Homo-oligomer: A and B are copies of this chain.
Amino acid sequence: MSKSKKAKETIQNQLLAALPQSEFDNINPKLKLVDLELNEVLWEMEEKREYVYFPTTAMICLLYESEEGVSIEVGMTGRHGMLGVVTFIGDSRMAKRAVVQREGQAYRIKATDVEKAFLECKDFQEICMRYTQTLIAQISQSAICNRLHSVDQQLCRYLLVNYDNIRTKTFSMTHEQISNVLGVRRESVSVAAARLRESGIIAYSRGKITLLDFKGLLSSACECYEVVKDQYDRILSKYISVHSK
């Protein structure tokens, strides 16, 4: 387990990296870097949460399954955030499922250890709380986006968010997967993607998407992407200097 002797500088999760050294040293021994597989279910609905995750290269999304059987995303987190605010905020259950949307790694920590650290470490506490506020902003914006914006706009927004997490212009992603996140038909995604391809904004083929024109992507997206990003930056500006690209 010499791998757990990691330096703070190498931490690829922004929230953990923002901790002061002393608090990081306190929490560090409890962290375990784990591999998350695609489609792995980290939280089942209504179950008690055992672990909290701080993703580094993985992406995790929170899914809600409606009575009609349609599943739809209500939140997403990657290296900018964490999965498990409910463990320190109150009752550690919720009516949602957490699924790994992109394979990769994350730091895992026991829920009980998080609760302890939350009480002992003042900065950790504030960072978690502030992250919770960004989460509220994110979910609020999704509510608005779902009401007001077209599939085309939402697709662009989603691709941009994805890029912020992955930071590679090419990544694996089928139209079907996108449709499940956005809560629309696969065909609607295909049509929207075709339009973007015609405009030279993206290229894609059989589950690989490449982003070509970021300006075009931004102007085709709804404002929700930037609103959420700006709020994240502002709320956490005390700890994180700038939304690193």
Per assembly, the copies of the chain total: 2
How many of chain A's residues touch chain B, expressed as a range?
35 or more
Question: Does residue A64 face the partner (Cβ distance < 8 Å to B)?
Answer: yes
Q: Which of A74, A93, A141, A223 has the most CB of B within 10 A?
A: A74
Partner of A132, one of B89, B126, B137, B139: B89
With A72-B147, A74-B144, A146-B147 as known contacts, state yes or no: A130 contacts B95, CB within 8 Å: no
Question: Does residue A165 face the partner (Cβ distance < 8 Å to B)?
Answer: no
- In the bound complex, CA of A66 to CA of B146 (Å): 12
Partner of A143, one of B137, B146, B222: B146
CB distance from A92 to the nearest CB of B (A): 10
With a cutoff of 8 Å between Cβ atoms, the chain B residues found around residue A129 in the complex are 88-90
Q: Which listed segment binds B: A104-112, A209-217, A227-235?
A: A227-235
- In the bound complex, CA of A141 to CA of B74 (Å): 8
CB distance from A148 to the nearest CB of B (A): 6
Question: Does residue A67 face the partner (Cβ distance < 8 Å to B)?
Answer: yes
Closest to A132 in B: B89
CB distance from A149 to the nearest CB of B (A): 9
With a cutoff of 8 Å between Cβ atoms, the chain B residues found around residue A90 in the complex are 126, 129-130, 132-133, 235
CB <8 Å contact, A137 and B94: yes
